[in-house]
Protein backbone atom coordinates (compact mmCIF):
# COMPACT_ATOMS: atom_id res chain seq x y z
CA UNK A 1 0.00 0.00 0.00
CA UNK A 2 1.26 3.49 -0.89
CA UNK A 3 0.03 6.60 0.94
CA UNK A 4 1.56 9.97 0.02
CA UNK A 5 1.59 13.05 2.26
CA UNK A 6 2.51 16.39 0.67
CA UNK A 7 2.44 20.03 1.65
CA UNK A 8 4.48 23.15 1.87
CA UNK A 9 7.16 23.94 4.40
CA UNK A 10 5.88 23.82 8.01
CA UNK A 11 2.43 22.69 6.79
CA UNK A 12 2.08 19.78 9.21
CA UNK A 13 2.65 17.07 6.58
CA UNK A 14 5.40 15.26 8.48
CA UNK A 15 3.49 15.19 11.74
CA UNK A 16 0.35 13.95 9.98
CA UNK A 17 2.32 11.24 8.16
CA UNK A 18 4.02 10.16 11.42
CA UNK A 19 0.66 9.91 13.20
CA UNK A 20 -0.86 7.92 10.32
CA UNK A 21 2.11 5.56 10.16
CA UNK A 22 2.12 4.98 13.91
CA UNK A 23 -1.64 4.33 13.93
CA UNK A 24 -1.43 1.92 10.97
CA UNK A 25 1.43 -0.02 12.56
CA UNK A 26 -0.29 -0.20 15.94
CA UNK A 27 -3.64 -1.28 14.49
CA UNK A 28 -2.09 -4.05 12.36
CA UNK A 29 0.60 -4.92 14.94
CA UNK A 30 3.34 -4.29 12.39
CA UNK A 31 6.89 -2.97 12.70
CA UNK A 32 7.15 0.82 12.37
CA UNK A 33 10.15 2.18 10.48
CA UNK A 34 11.23 5.76 9.93
CA UNK A 35 13.36 5.87 6.79
CA UNK A 36 15.47 9.03 7.11
CA UNK A 37 16.94 10.23 3.82
CA UNK A 38 18.77 13.34 5.03
CA UNK A 39 22.51 13.01 4.58
CA UNK A 40 24.56 13.76 7.64
CA UNK A 41 26.85 16.66 7.00
CA UNK A 42 27.65 19.61 9.19
CA UNK A 43 26.23 20.95 12.43
CA UNK A 44 22.99 22.23 10.91
CA UNK A 45 22.07 18.83 9.45
CA UNK A 46 23.02 17.11 12.72
CA UNK A 47 20.83 19.53 14.67
CA UNK A 48 17.86 18.92 12.35
CA UNK A 49 18.32 15.16 12.62
CA UNK A 50 18.37 15.30 16.42
CA UNK A 51 15.33 17.59 16.48
CA UNK A 52 13.38 15.16 14.29
CA UNK A 53 14.46 12.17 16.40
CA UNK A 54 13.24 13.92 19.56
CA UNK A 55 9.90 14.79 17.92
CA UNK A 56 9.14 11.15 17.14
CA UNK A 57 10.83 9.56 20.18
CA UNK A 58 7.61 8.41 21.81
CA UNK A 59 5.91 7.18 18.63
CA UNK A 60 7.63 3.78 18.43
CA UNK A 61 9.66 4.26 15.26
CA UNK A 62 12.83 2.33 14.49
CA UNK A 63 14.99 4.77 12.52
CA UNK A 64 16.88 3.61 9.45
CA UNK A 65 19.11 6.07 7.62
CA UNK A 66 19.54 5.62 3.87
CA UNK A 67 20.24 8.63 1.66
CA UNK A 68 20.14 6.84 -1.70
CA UNK A 69 19.24 3.48 -3.24
CA UNK A 70 16.43 2.81 -0.76
CA UNK A 71 15.56 -0.37 -2.65
CA UNK A 72 18.71 -1.97 -1.18
CA UNK A 73 17.22 -2.01 2.33
CA UNK A 74 16.18 -5.24 3.97
CA UNK A 75 12.89 -4.64 5.76
CA UNK A 76 10.24 -6.75 7.46
CA UNK A 77 7.70 -7.62 4.75
CA UNK A 78 4.79 -6.31 6.82
CA UNK A 79 6.46 -3.08 8.02
CA UNK A 80 4.89 0.34 7.87
CA UNK A 81 7.64 2.56 6.46
CA UNK A 82 7.57 6.35 6.66
CA UNK A 83 10.00 7.84 4.13
CA UNK A 84 11.09 11.33 5.19
CA UNK A 85 11.45 12.84 2.64
CA UNK A 86 11.23 12.73 -1.14
CA UNK A 87 13.00 16.05 -1.55
CA UNK A 88 16.11 14.82 0.23
CA UNK A 89 16.04 11.56 -1.71
CA UNK A 90 15.88 13.39 -5.06
CA UNK A 91 18.62 15.83 -4.08
CA UNK A 92 20.86 13.07 -2.78
CA UNK A 93 20.50 11.08 -5.97
CA UNK A 94 20.82 14.05 -8.31
CA UNK A 95 23.77 15.77 -6.66
CA UNK A 96 25.79 12.83 -5.35
CA UNK A 97 29.38 12.53 -6.59
CA UNK A 98 28.45 9.16 -8.13
CA UNK A 99 25.63 10.69 -10.17
CA UNK A 100 27.88 12.22 -12.79
CA UNK A 101 26.06 13.82 -15.69
CA UNK A 102 23.10 11.47 -15.89
CA UNK A 103 20.06 12.67 -17.80
CA UNK A 104 16.91 13.76 -15.97
CA UNK A 105 15.12 10.75 -17.41
CA UNK A 106 17.80 8.38 -16.08
CA UNK A 107 17.69 9.90 -12.58
CA UNK A 108 13.88 9.91 -12.51
CA UNK A 109 13.72 6.30 -13.71
CA UNK A 110 16.25 5.17 -11.10
CA UNK A 111 14.37 6.93 -8.29
CA UNK A 112 10.99 5.62 -9.41
CA UNK A 113 12.28 2.04 -9.72
CA UNK A 114 13.96 2.28 -6.31
CA UNK A 115 10.71 3.43 -4.69
CA UNK A 116 8.69 0.75 -6.50
CA UNK A 117 11.05 -1.91 -5.19
CA UNK A 118 10.86 -0.47 -1.67
CA UNK A 119 7.08 -0.38 -1.87
CA UNK A 120 7.02 -4.10 -2.74
CA UNK A 121 9.28 -4.91 0.24
CA UNK A 122 7.00 -3.52 2.93
CA UNK A 123 3.38 -3.64 4.00
CA UNK A 124 2.80 0.10 3.67
CA UNK A 125 5.01 2.89 2.34
CA UNK A 126 4.26 6.46 3.40
CA UNK A 127 6.49 8.96 1.58
CA UNK A 128 6.45 12.62 2.60
CA UNK A 129 6.60 15.03 -0.34
CA UNK A 130 6.30 18.76 -0.85
CA UNK A 131 4.70 21.42 -2.97
CA UNK A 132 7.01 22.99 -5.52
CA UNK A 133 6.29 25.17 -8.50
CA UNK A 134 6.82 23.03 -11.59
CA UNK A 135 7.48 25.92 -13.92
CA UNK A 136 11.19 26.73 -14.27
CA UNK A 137 11.58 30.10 -12.60
CA UNK A 138 14.38 29.62 -10.17
CA UNK A 139 17.11 31.07 -12.37
CA UNK A 140 19.52 28.27 -11.58
CA UNK A 141 19.70 25.30 -13.99
CA UNK A 142 20.51 22.80 -11.21
CA UNK A 143 17.54 23.93 -9.12
CA UNK A 144 15.24 23.84 -12.14
CA UNK A 145 16.44 20.33 -12.96
CA UNK A 146 15.83 19.26 -9.35
CA UNK A 147 12.29 20.69 -9.44
CA UNK A 148 11.46 18.93 -12.71
CA UNK A 149 12.68 15.56 -11.41
CA UNK A 150 11.04 15.98 -8.00
CA UNK A 151 7.71 17.02 -9.55
CA UNK A 152 7.73 14.14 -12.03
CA UNK A 153 8.54 11.63 -9.28
CA UNK A 154 5.88 12.95 -6.92
CA UNK A 155 3.35 12.97 -9.79
CA UNK A 156 4.19 9.31 -10.54
CA UNK A 157 3.71 8.43 -6.87
CA UNK A 158 0.43 10.34 -6.76
CA UNK A 159 -0.85 8.45 -9.80
CA UNK A 160 -0.23 5.02 -8.27
CA UNK A 161 -0.93 5.88 -4.62
CA UNK A 162 -3.75 4.28 -2.72
CA UNK A 163 -4.29 7.58 -0.92
CA UNK A 164 -2.92 11.12 -1.15
CA UNK A 165 -3.15 13.72 1.60
CA UNK A 166 -2.37 17.43 1.39
CA UNK A 167 -1.36 19.41 4.46
CA UNK A 168 -1.89 23.16 4.48
CA UNK A 169 -1.52 25.39 7.53
CA UNK A 170 -1.83 22.41 9.86
CA UNK A 171 -5.01 21.07 8.25
CA UNK A 172 -4.82 17.80 6.32
CA UNK A 173 -7.29 16.82 3.64
CA UNK A 174 -7.61 13.72 1.52
CA UNK A 175 -7.18 14.34 -2.21
CA UNK A 176 -7.43 10.71 -3.30
CA UNK A 177 -8.40 7.42 -1.73
CA UNK A 178 -8.84 4.13 -3.56
CA UNK A 179 -11.70 2.06 -2.27
CA UNK A 180 -11.67 -1.72 -2.09
CA UNK A 181 -9.76 -4.57 -0.48
pLDDT at position 181, please? 59
Question: Quick one: which of 40, 35, 46 has its CA closest to 69?
Answer: 35
Above pLDDT 70, what percent of the chain? 96
pLDDT at position 108, please? 95
Region 53-73 average pLDDT: 89
Instruction: Indicate the pTM of the whole model.
Output: 0.90
What is the third-level CATH fold of 3-177? Rossmann fold (3.40.50)
Q: Cβ distance 153 to 112 under 8 Å?
A: yes
Question: Quick one: which of 1, 6, 17, 37 has its CA closest to 132?
Answer: 6
pLDDT band at 45 (very low <50, low <70, confident <90, very high): confident
Instruction: List the domain boundaries for the chain.
Output: 3-177
| Cα–Cα distance measured from residue 13 to residue 27, given in angstroms and rounded to the nearest whole number | 21
pLDDT at position 134, please? 59
User: Measured in whole angstroms, how far is the alpha carbon of residue 26 from the centre of its chain?
Assistant: 21
Instruction: Render pLDDT for 122-136 as a digit per residue (tens, 0 to 9).
Output: 999 999 999 876 555
Average pLDDT, the chain: 90
pLDDT band at 49 (very low <50, low <70, confident <90, very high): confident
Mutual angle of helices 86-95 and 104-121, in 10-degree steps: 130
Give 37-43 contacts, CB < 8 A, sequence gap 24+: 37/65, 37/66, 37/67, 37/70, 37/83, 37/84, 37/85, 37/88, 37/89, 37/92, 38/65, 38/67, 38/84, 38/88, 39/67, 39/88, 39/92, 40/65
Point out the least confidently predicted range of 46-60, 131-145, 148-162.
131-145
Amino acid sequence: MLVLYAGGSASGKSEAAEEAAAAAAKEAKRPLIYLATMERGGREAAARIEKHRAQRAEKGFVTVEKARAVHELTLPADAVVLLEDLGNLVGNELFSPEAGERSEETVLCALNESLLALEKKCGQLIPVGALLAEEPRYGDPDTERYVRIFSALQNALTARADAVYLAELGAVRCLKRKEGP
